[in-house]
Structure 1
Amino acid sequence: MKVVKFGGKSLANGEGINTVLEIIEEKIKNEERIAVVVSARGKTTDQLENLLEKASENEDFASAFEKFKAYQISEYDFVDFSEEFKNIEKLLEGVRLLGDYSAKIKDQLLSQGELMSAKLITEILKQRGYKANFTDTRKLIKTDDIFGNAQPLDALSKENVLEHFQEFNGKTVNIVTGFIGSNAKNETTTLGRNGSNYTASLIANYLDAEELQNYTHVDGIYTANPDLVPSAQRIDQLSYNEANELANFGATILHAKTIIPLIEKNIPLRILNTFNNDNQGTLITAKPNKEGMKSLSVLEHTALLNLEGRGLLGKSGVDARVFRALGDAQISVSIISQGSSERGIGLVVDAENAVRAVKALEREFESDFYSKDVNKISVVDDVSVISIVGQDLSTFHKPYDALIRNQIVPLLFNNTVTGKNVSLVVKKSQLNKALNVIHGEIFEICKKINIAIFGHGTVGGTLINQILDSAATIEERKKVKLNIFAVSNSRKLLLHATGIGSEWKTQLEEAQQEASIDEVIKYAKLFHLENLIAVDNTASEAFVQNYNKLVDHGFDLVSSNKIANTLGFDFYKELRENLEKNQKQYLYETNVGAGLPLIDTIRILHLSGENITRIRGVFSGTLSYLFNTFSAEDRTFSSVLKEAIDKGFTEPDPREDLNGNDVGRKLLILARELDLQNEFNDVKIKNLVPEDLRGGDAKTFVSRLEELDATYQKVKEEQKPNHVLRYIGDLSGDLQQDKGELEVALVSVPDDSSLGQVKGADSIFEIYTESYGDRPIVIQGAGAGAAVTARGVFGDILKLSEKK
């Protein structure tokens, strides 16, 4: 015989109950011998508890009760529920008059859900021509007197079950009520949370069943609750011990006591999905998972109790007093953690028991309060326990570090004696995010990186398209899912928790949400988004002022905007201190040299202790093109500049390139990478625009370009033979001091030198160090362009992704 159990969601009106009936009928047609154990249907138990609360508070429950009855009857008006409805109403009226209820009354009321569920299935099967028998487990499962969490009396219960199934056997299908039993006085009791699974397990044990099949609303046991962790994966097979660990640590599909009766008789348990016939589910047997098992379980509706007292340090028997007090109050403790330097004990209990637990401890330690050995007993409500079942402490640092990087600091940490299960207590508001962070880290299925992009101009728009084009390949190759959840310009904001698509530009134009950093932060919190990166592709000084706020709310930073690194040194230092405090990173490789690996190279050399003595180079792709062409060709300066303008190499106002400020900012950024404390006004800059052309608008300036020709023709002609002009930035001086010498100028260099040989719009950088002597490290390549810069920003995003 097989025992088949159906959960409440499977039995809900509509698709649920119809599918359950199809499964039962199919098994009967295939001549399988089955006993069916059922839970209360849908949200029946919750509705009964709600009615009970209304009655106890003397609220009018008539309307809610009518809705309850309508759901139970639904389209099955041929089933007589009058007795159950009468019992419910009688109990509720009694509670309303008394204004309170006992655990005994609650058990009587809740039992009606399972009774109606079993009666309904039985009557439908009979109407369809099958032999079905309604089986009330209050007559079979005998228990102790602990209402709400009764323990079965095995010998008597087994005898009752065997007698019943001997009478109703053969082709008769017993439809059995789960969750309920009765004590020696025949008073109704219930078996506790998820007790219907326990009932099914007991029945399977007593009947020596071939298999217990537990039908629920998911495909089996997962590496985490798929409702909370979309990337969770089904576990094909578990051993009894592994399943028992999961049950004890809060797996909602299993009752902690379900496995024990099955182990005794070596009865396989298969978790199946009522709504997916093609799925094999999860099989639980004595055979362990070959690859070992890891899964995340959650205990919700818990509270954290903290007992603190400096005077308890070194006193014996404190733990015994704590557990005796809680035990006398019939309060179970799921997790305990102790401090040492200042005596403290942290305890996790069910939230509904928190107040009683505090009172019990206050009574026990009353004298210790007077002697000031105990300072306080406090409660932290709204916490959840995450247990990583199968987690070895040797690799626990990975998920723990990931939590800290995502600004989730566990309130309590506990490891089991075996060293294979780790439990963390977190704020309930952080549960979803914490689960996804841990799951992505320990299973390495696919780490999700959530990106907010600010500024979608030439570089920003190119970057978005690069990410969208490469996302699938990166996910497959690197197991990293890049999810752009926010795109913003200065006016509008597009938000999409699961990621924007190729139509993002149109959607942004049609968006109603105004641009707001606060809205982005709020949205990320609302959807529990982990591994956050903010990308600044603006050229806005005002936006830079948001950096610290973003860091405070869990964002790492990537920027092509140079401004943050060239503002006053006080801001520069404050931002770095805030990044360190929040364990966040700020990458900006494209600030100098677009996509060239310049900043990383300098940073690594500096961190390794290498003495960098000088850095100089052609920092501007625009000015590189201008002077490379002017030096190589017999043309006027104005014609070359006009060509650069026409090709879009310059800013709309070319004086922004020619004034040297951009090169000066880049040079300052490199100086600060060497821990120099220079300010922008320390940079000596040769402005290539004559003073009389610096005023007025861009159009007027462009119309007067020929006025530059005589000046630059003279400079060109006065060079030594075989020399060319280059506009360079030069960082020199004693770079071991607080400040270096920064100069931006037009210089003449030999045409066979590294600077002299640069072509087109390339940038080139020479890094002189003590170890390399007169032979500099040379980095050369495309130093400008939207695609190159966007690719450099993309590279920074991927660097951060690997570290998360």
Structure 2
Amino acid sequence: MSNFNVAKFGGTSVANFEAMSRCAAVIEANPNTKLVVSSACSGVTNLLVELANGVQDTQRRSEILTKLAEIHNAILGQLENSDQVASDVYAILDTVTSLAEAASIQSSHKLTDHLVACGELMSTHILAQLLKERGLNATRFDIRDVLRTDANFGKAEPQLETIKQLADRSLVPLCQDYVVVTQGFIGSDSEGNTTTLGRGGSDYSAALIAEAVEASGLEIWTDVPGIYTTDPRIAPKASPIPEISFSEASEMANFGAKILHPSTLVPALRHDIPVFVGSSKQPEKGGTWIRHQVESSPLFRALALRCNQTMVTLRSANMFHAYGFLAKVFEILAKHKVSVDLITTSEISVSLTLDQTDTAGGAPQLPEQARIELEELCHVEVEHNLCLVALIGNNMSESKGYAKQVFGTLEDFNLRMICYGASPHNLCFLLHESVSKQAIQKLHTELFEG
């Protein structure tokens, strides 16, 4: 393991010149920070996604391009020497203009990845220059030269062995002499095409990079001081968690805690790299350490909320005491690349949820052709506007009595689906999005504020 520390900064942490300056202070505070992974400036990716979806209204397209220029010009204008970096940023903006015009005619996943990647490419030019002006020996590095993926545009899969080889060859030596500023979220396939790891993939790519250089630690800097018992915007009395296990944090990430991308912890877990989550706005408040071993493992650790859920219910009398029904269902879903998240079954029905992880965002959809093939087997019902509430904790399957406390609190809510038993770390259920926050509030009051 190297003594390199990897620090990742999210979009709000690099939103403007003041925010980037706070990032620089965080980097300066830890001499071991040799790799800096940056997201696009706040709001930029959403604008780029809109362009990638194909904006045919030339006035709207012009408004978006103007807004993108304004966001970056506001930061460039406060640098001491911005000539070269401005030239680099404007060249990328020219690329955005060309790609946006192409997307207005015919969009594609490949074009979308190339377009949305431009946000990180621009922000890292600016951040690297700001660090130089503060006296750090910084340099910018294009992570596409190392982070190799397959060609599954929108949610590309990393090629771990190749990433390790390329990092040893070019990235690790560079870190011996520089603070290296690079991009999150993006990579490239074997033919040099730009790919993305999906929305939120900056955390994941930072962990992949930390794994490749065998980092001593990974810091994820965002706009909140660590991981809380739930989202403080929903439950104002939510409290910070100083230390949490990899297992608990993975469950929280998977079930919607926005502090982390669901896959972030996997590379860190593989190489036992401790992860720190803190606020670049208030670094003095500390944060949350995520480790293999923690001092306390309470029954209830946190509540997570994940909306934009789609539930598919399949009903057929042919399921009763039949062999192979579920195998046929999953064969169809796999054929159409439909990812199943949660599943429950009864004698004649099965309910499952779909989760969206690709660049486009939005509610997950059951492809029409998949639905047609499933309807040859059974009746298909699709429900939208649902949210998943997950109660995260420890040894839940071995504990008694708490179910009454949990479901007693929820007696006034219509629970559409309950999943429990597959993991000792979670109990989760679906309900309508209109009451999801109210359910979180009541559970938090009952389980965490007593």
Tell whether the 8 Å contact from 1:329 to 1:356 is kept in structure 2 after alignment.
no
Question: In structure 1, what is the equivalent of residue 338 of structure 2?
Answer: 331
Question: In structure 1, what is the equivalent of residue 359 of structure 2?
Answer: none
Tell whether the 8 Å contact from 2:184 to 2:203 is kept in structure 1 after alignment.
yes
- Pairing 1:34–2:40 present: no
Please give the alpha-carbon distance, in whole angstroms, between the structure 1 residues aligned to 2:410 and 2:173. 58
Query: What amino acid is aligned across from residue 397 of structure 1 in structure 2?
Result: K
Q: 2:184 aligns with which of 178, 181, 193?
A: 178
- TM alignment of 1:180-195, pairs within 5 A: 180-195=186-201
Tell whether the 8 Å contact from 2:308 to 2:363 is kept in structure 1 after alignment.
no
How far 1:209 moved relative to its partner?
1.3
Q: 1:360 aligns with which of 370, 373, 394?
A: 370
Query: What amino acid is aligned across from residue 34 of structure 2 in structure 1?
Result: I
Question: In structure 1, what is the equivalent of residue 62 of structure 2?
Answer: 62
Please give the alpha-carbon distance, in whole angstroms, between the structure 2 residues aligned to 1:420 and 1:242. 7
Please give the alpha-carbon distance, in whole angstroms, between the structure 2 residues aligned to 1:435 and 1:353. 21
Please give the alpha-carbon distance, in whole angstroms, between the structure 2 residues aligned to 1:43 and 1:263. 31
**Residue-by-residue CA offset, 1:604-641 (whole Å, 9 max, x unaligned):** xxxxxxxxxxxxxxxxxxxxxxxxxxxxxxxxxxxxxx
Question: In structure 2, what is the equivalent of residue 43 of structure 1?
Answer: 43
Structure 2 vs 1, CA of residues 194 and 60 (structure 1 numbering), >3 Å: closer, same or farther? closer
Tell whether the 8 Å contact from 1:399 to 1:437 is kept in structure 2 after alignment.
no
TM-score by length of 2: 0.90
**Residue-by-residue CA offset, 1:477-505 (whole Å, 9 max, x unaligned):** xx5xxxxxxxxxxxxxxxxxxxxxxxxxx
Question: In structure 2, what is the equivalent of residue 263 of structure 1?
Answer: 269
- Pairing 1:219–2:219 present: no
How far 1:57 moved relative to its partner?
7.2
- TM alignment of 1:400-549, pairs within 5 A: 400-404=407-411, 407-443=412-448, 445=449, 479=450
Counterpart secondary structure, 2:282: coil
Query: What amino acid is aligned across from residue 331 of structure 2 in structure 1?
Result: R
How far 1:250 moved relative to its partner?
2.4
Query: What amino acid is aligned across from residue 211 of structure 2 in structure 1?
Result: N
Please give the alpha-carbon distance, in whole angstroms, between the structure 2 residues aligned to 1:354 and 1:222. 27
Structure 2 unaligned runs (5+)?
A: 357-361
- TM alignment of 1:3-402, pairs within 5 A: 3-27=6-30, 31-55=31-55, 60-77=60-77, 78=82, 79-80=86-87, 81-98=89-106, 101-292=107-298, 294-340=301-347, 343-350=348-355, 352=362, 354-357=364-367, 359-366=369-376, 368=377, 374=378, 376-390=379-393, 392=396, 394=400, 395-402=402-409
Q: CA RMSD in A?
A: 2.0
Please give the alpha-carbon distance, in whole angstroms, between the structure 1 residues aligned to 2:29 and 2:275. 20
Structure 2 vs 1, CA of residues 354 and 322 (structure 1 numbering), >3 Å: closer, same or farther? farther
Higher relative contact order (CA 8 A, sep 6+): 2
Task: Report % sequence identity.
Answer: 27
How far 1:362 moved relative to its partner?
2.4
Please give the alpha-carbon distance, in whole angstroms, between the structure 2 residues aligned to 1:91 and 1:215. 31
Counterpart secondary structure, 1:288: coil
Counterpart secondary structure, 2:427: strand
Question: In structure 2, what is the equivalent of residue 551 of structure 1?
Answer: none
Counterpart secondary structure, 1:55: coil
How far 1:346 moved relative to its partner?
1.2
Tell whether the 8 Å contact from 2:54 to 2:103 is kept in structure 1 after alignment.
no
- TM alignment of 1:358-757, pairs within 5 A: 359-366=369-376, 368=377, 374=378, 376-390=379-393, 392=396, 394=400, 395-404=402-411, 407-443=412-448, 445=449, 479=450
Please give the alpha-carbon distance, in whole angstroms, between the structure 2 residues aligned to 1:379 and 1:67. 38
How far 1:276 moved relative to its partner?
1.4
Please give the alpha-carbon distance, in whole angstroms, between the structure 1 residues aligned to 2:25 and 2:425. 41
How far 1:14 moved relative to its partner?
5.0
Q: Which has the larger radius of gyration?
A: 1
How far 1:218 moved relative to its partner?
0.9
TM-score by length of 1: 0.51
Please give the alpha-carbon distance, in whole angstroms, between the structure 2 residues aligned to 1:43 and 1:5. 17
How far 1:106 moved relative to its partner?
0.9
Please give the alpha-carbon distance, in whole angstroms, between the structure 2 residues aligned to 1:359 and 1:381. 18
Tell whether the 8 Å contact from 1:142 to 1:157 is kept in structure 2 after alignment.
yes
How far 1:200 moved relative to its partner?
1.2
Query: What amino acid is aligned across from residue 330 of structure 1 in structure 2?
Result: K
Please give the alpha-carbon distance, in whole angstroms, between the structure 2 residues aligned to 1:325 and 1:7. 37
How far 1:224 moved relative to its partner?
0.9
Please give the alpha-carbon distance, in whole angstroms, between the structure 2 residues aligned to 1:314 and 1:119. 62
Structure 1 unaligned runs (5+)?
A: 369-373, 446-478, 480-804
How far 1:282 moved relative to its partner?
0.7
**Residue-by-residue CA offset, 1:750-785 (whole Å, 9 max, x unaligned):** xxxxxxxxxxxxxxxxxxxxxxxxxxxxxxxxxxxx
**Residue-by-residue CA offset, 1:653-709 (whole Å, 9 max, x unaligned):** xxxxxxxxxxxxxxxxxxxxxxxxxxxxxxxxxxxxxxxxxxxxxxxxxxxxxxxxx
Tell whether the 8 Å contact from 1:326 to 1:357 is kept in structure 2 after alignment.
no
**Residue-by-residue CA offset, 1:51-108 (whole Å, 9 max, x unaligned):** 233526777411221112111221414223122111111111111123xx11111111
Tell whether the 8 Å contact from 1:239 to 1:289 is kept in structure 2 after alignment.
no
Say how many residue pairs are matched. Answer: 429
Structure 2 vs 1, CA of residues 97 and 418 (structure 1 numbering), >3 Å: closer, same or farther? closer
Please give the alpha-carbon distance, in whole angstroms, between the structure 1 residues aligned to 2:364 and 2:76. 42
Tell whether the 8 Å contact from 2:53 to 2:103 is kept in structure 1 after alignment.
no
Counterpart secondary structure, 1:108: helix
- The answer to which of 210-219 and 51-60 deviates more is 51-60
Structure 2 vs 1, CA of residues 129 and 219 (structure 1 numbering), >3 Å: closer, same or farther? closer
Please give the alpha-carbon distance, in whole angstroms, between the structure 1 residues aligned to 2:173 and 2:437. 50
Structure 2 vs 1, CA of residues 14 and 33 (structure 1 numbering), >3 Å: closer, same or farther? closer
Tell whether the 8 Å contact from 1:358 to 1:377 is kept in structure 2 after alignment.
no
Counterpart secondary structure, 2:117: helix
**Residue-by-residue CA offset, 1:129-160 (whole Å, 9 max, x unaligned):** 33211111111111111111111111111111
Structure 2 vs 1, CA of residues 435 and 43 (structure 1 numbering), >3 Å: closer, same or farther? same
Please give the alpha-carbon distance, in whole angstroms, between the structure 2 residues aligned to 1:67 and 1:117. 15
Query: What amino acid is aligned across from residue 66 of structure 1 in structure 2?
Result: T
